[in-house]
Structure 1
């Protein structure tokens, strides 16, 4: 049977529809699947069969194996993403800008595109951006204070979203005057799917005009670098526009929600917050643990098996769709002792990055270093500016967005200079976090 776990055949479950709590309590769902079998069969929202892999070893092997492709066409699988866009009414000429990107390519085609854009995300380039990120952070903290009402401000709208969209726009080369429009467009693409066509069309048109402007007036930015690459007949016009769109869209939403999740996690775990206050040098290590414990991306994009594959712990047939549950892997007790604990002093069993919040293999997140830098700077300066920072609402009253595959808050109200929540709310109780729920 395709996808049948080799070592867990006796506990492999039957095929299930998506659990009703996959949107409201996703960590519990992926934890349960991980412990049921090495590969669990499940129906996706459109009714098609997919295999969910949630153990750390399995997730890493699937993401690194070239037989598990991002492009469904390479495995003869249905074009579910394209069909979903058509169902939303997106015009055929706009679909490639979202469905034929760096993330949708494999093998030599993927290597070619990634090689062209990778120089913008080198450690040297990101380190050179650090002073600018620090200034942007300080400016946004000033604005947070200005917009606070009764000492309370929403961290997501006033800081977490503006910082990464500004940073990625500067890196790409979007003029400052146009960034508010970019934020509106990308927010609509993330949260207003019913407006997909009316949002994407103007965004594509704007990006084309920006490329033409940079073609006439090159600058020290990514668009100009891509144009120079295009001059060598290595990028088509559509590829160039698609690359810019992909980087801006992907480069801010996940970072924004990671910043919010991290602040929520620290403020609801006062023992960990105290460690950071006592030793700010722990912040880079804390960022890695926060990525493991409350990273916003819960699952990978679907992978499609291009040929029969026996991985030892499970076997798959050509054409199978496989989803790697990053949440399950990041809370796998086989890799992380007591994974339910948030522990910013945690030491990994192996050198390097043990969590899989940025993925693994050829599609490892291109902007991982930039995201970590932003988080380190933001947390350090936020906590230094307001040492008494606290939630302005009881943790259990915070609302999480019911978005498939993501874990992100709708709002994160913070009290800047005090700890005054409802009188009857226990100030140090976070409610269950990732991996802390019974399954």
Structure 2
């Protein structure tokens, strides 16, 4: 069984070289093991584990899809990006994303029973999670393949079998190309020693090392793919892979930084928020106006609206120099209302279609030009934009499932996630 599985996985890697230089290069950065310690397949972030009996019953196309499924979980840092979210629901969201990427390539298939939700596959895994958690009955997880710890490999049929294992700390692919002369086969004892070291490392250190490992892998795979095809990667693939190159900054932290970032003088960090991990500059000087609008066209739920308003009031209560004017908007806009910690928030108005232009026209009329000011708009992003960008910095806070960030013609975009 062991030798048979080694041959099956080697055949998968050979097919990847013929079908996708990108995935073939990416695969060089993962070690894989055949073990009966897990029921089907899984990954803890870097290594991939396959059950020999499950692997043997799949068709060649399904084995390729399974290999890519686990490989993409690792490359997209799905393990470390989960943070404090519910493990099972996060696994479901991650499965939907990677299965969508695999099918979209048009060359691979996923094993029977694999999760598919085409309407969600264009979103990031964080957004898919947010959309699923609102459902009364989210889809069931066929098998938990985002492993919480390294499996006990004492039951494995064989140890690491990479015939071109180029992902050790002292060995890197030569420009992404495999070479028999540069191959490095690891013995059982070497693998056991590395796994033991991984168990002793702190979780934070492991996450940092994994992030560096996979970003290097993606960079080399991208170079190889583009050099061979002389073009860009498929849009969906490039979008998802680009996510791990961006810092995973909580939207609340981003909002705080945006609203206190002005041309005024600063006097170091505001110590009131250091315990929350928010190293925010203490603002001094002239007051700042914030023109805030909340989309009430039906796309923003009561929960998101409540959380957002709570965050805004916390900011304004902590920084008296900031003055906020609030509008609600669908195809029209309603307001402005002065927002502070004393006045009750007015009842939302709207419910029709979405047009961003009336709000920006209202801001242009309201802004005195005598004070520093910024614009903040909470929306799903689907509506009519002004023909010209406003003269003020604009922050779009986009609800889960909203328009892709590159669809906004101006301003900065941050995704509303827990």
**TM-score between both structures, scaled by the size of structure 2:** 0.27
Task: Choose 1 or 2 for highest CA Rg.
Answer: 2
Which has a greater percent of strand? 2
Task: Say which structure, 1 or 2, has more relative contact order (CA 8 Å, 6+ apart).
Answer: 1
Which has a greater percent of helix? 1
**TM-score between both structures, scaled by the size of structure 1:** 0.26
